[in-house]
Homo-oligomer: A and B are copies of this chain.
């Protein structure tokens, strides 16, 4: 992995949560401690972050306090600029007074910020999204009932009788672990269950997935590609994947990442 790439990842991660550790970055970038330390030292000199013992700290107080202060799997804080661009596009599709469903996930979480100025009805099983929308926006927030899972900050319910069935939305926005010819893929069976339940509660199904998701396959199929109305991704998507979506009849929106220092080394 290139130095620039690592730097991007580190800076992204630090936007999501106030502190990142060297160890976390080692895992994410698959490089050595020494390298990460060098990176952090470099970025510190560039005043992009503050070096602290054990890792790095955001240089300015974070505007978004991260997902409930929980240690957020850093793996998922990758590609943050892409996710933000994708989320912006997603929200751009919505009007005030729309009713939408947002599934919990790191990409969908980025919808929070552009949603702040809206006044919509938002149904979400993400505790984090609910929390932020409640505090920072005037949107109506609805939640399904169930158990709160700390790991994912998500509300899941094994029960069928659920408020979910009483809510019907114009659009449902969903993240994914991978997008493949086989379908939209996820890893966690519980999440699969929750998302499948929600898919039927909206007119349109829109999947938010940064381009890295197209190279990934996961263990479980969430739904067929044909069930998806639209995919929003970033500029990194390859032609083969784009073609695959077209064949499946899925509309594709490519969100442009706003990034001055975008070196197209990929």
Contact = CB atoms under 8 A, between A and B. Distances in A.
Interface string A231-246: 0000000000000000
A4 B148 CA distance: 27
Q: Which of A55, A140, A146 counts the most chain B CB atoms within 10 A? A: A146
Q: How large is the interface on A (under 10, 10 to 19, 20 to 34, 35 or more residues)?
A: 35 or more
Interface of A: 2-5, 8, 12, 18-19, 21, 52-55, 57, 68-70, 127, 130-131, 134-135, 140-148, 150, 153, 155, 157, 159, 161-166
Nearest to A122: B148
A157 B163 contact: yes
Copies in the complex: 2
Given A2-B55, A127-B131, 11 more contacts: A2-B21, A2-B52, A134-B150, A141-B147, A141-B148, A143-B155, A145-B162, A146-B163, A157-B163, A159-B166, A161-B163
A253 B18 CA distance: 45
A147 B121 CA distance: 10
B144 A145 contact: yes
Nearest to A1: B71
A148 B157 contact: no
A15 to B, nearest CB: 13
